[in-house]
Structure 1
Amino acid sequence: MERKVSYKKNENNVIYVGNLPKQLSEEQLKTYFNQFGDVIKIRLMKSKKTNGSRGYAFVQFEDHEIAKIAAETMDKYIIDGKSLKVHVKEGDQIVKHLFKRGKKILVKKNKVKLINNRLELMSRSFETKLEKILDSIKNGNKHDSNEEIKSFIDKLSAKVEKLKDKQKRFDTNLYNEQIEVYSKALTTLKNHISS
């Protein structure tokens, strides 16, 4: 069964980046292109079988002028001995689902954060619960149930391990800040239980 491809009008703010070194990660690619302006989305094309880079990516900028400048500047730029092939995505159309699997990128105070809307909601409720427990401890209130805190410590420990595993698998430091916050919270909760 053939997949039906739908198109949308290209605002010429998407660039093609080809001839990438296979070991170059999305995070490293973002570092190169963030210097030109706000990157809206990025999609490093990967093999379905090996999950390794296929050597090309698409980067979407906020503005077509920024995309044009980035393409002109980075074309023939050499990374790890490979000369990049970069150009603004040609034609009046781009595939509508080009960035469907890619994650949205939020640029805030020069920090790049990947956002997955479905997981963000779950994460927010988890963090809200963590905040309530930590505030309760900070204000000197004995929390209702040590069992509840112990259960939360287990969940928090699992979350930290999962983030560390992701960080290792994807060769990124994107989760450092979150790991640090959760680790401090773990220490606080463990100290509260033992007191």
Structure 2
Amino acid sequence: MSIALNKQSQKLFSNAVTSIKKYIQEGKLRVEDKDDKVITKTVKLKRKRPERGVVYLGHIPHGFYEDEMKSFFNQFGTVTKARVFRSEKTGRSKGYGFVQFRHPDVAKIVAETMNNYLMCNRLLKAEYIPPERQHYRMFSGLDFSEKCYPKLFRKIKTFKQKNKNRTDEKHAAFCRKQVKKIEKLKQILLQNLEIK
């Protein structure tokens, strides 16, 4: 048991000692003794990511998105991730994406089977991507909510604003404002007709 010189700092001290012991056991901290000097070095443990199989898909038909991909490709093996690349403005599909499988052998089979597969009057292109060509950010940014796409977000916001329930007073004010706009446009059109 470790004892601190001050009673108040005993709890803090004991927590520090237990965390250091834990780091030494996990191999994150290495203690070296050189010439009666204790040197501590933190060692980064490289965690090896499990090797996954990734398939590139091109010429993806409209409506064949992440959920549909996962359910369709589950017939071959376990699908861990799926991503369709989309336009930043509208949120529409760009027509290509990636599917990640738990086992690389399954991905190779899928790439061979699904290449030039006719789906919704389109020839689907599939290619296996080996682990050395896989980018670590291939599946990052998987938030597909409408807030990610400004044009889509503004459109939905406008729909909600126009369709919200109004009180009678607000509705009357809205109608008066619309009538004023129409009157202004009417005057501009009449002026343009008189000039010609």
TM range (shorter): 0.3 to 0.5
Using the size of structure 1 for normalisation, the TM-score is 0.45
Higher gyration radius (CA) = 2
Higher relative contact order (CA 8 A, sep 6+): 1
Using the size of structure 2 for normalisation, the TM-score is 0.45
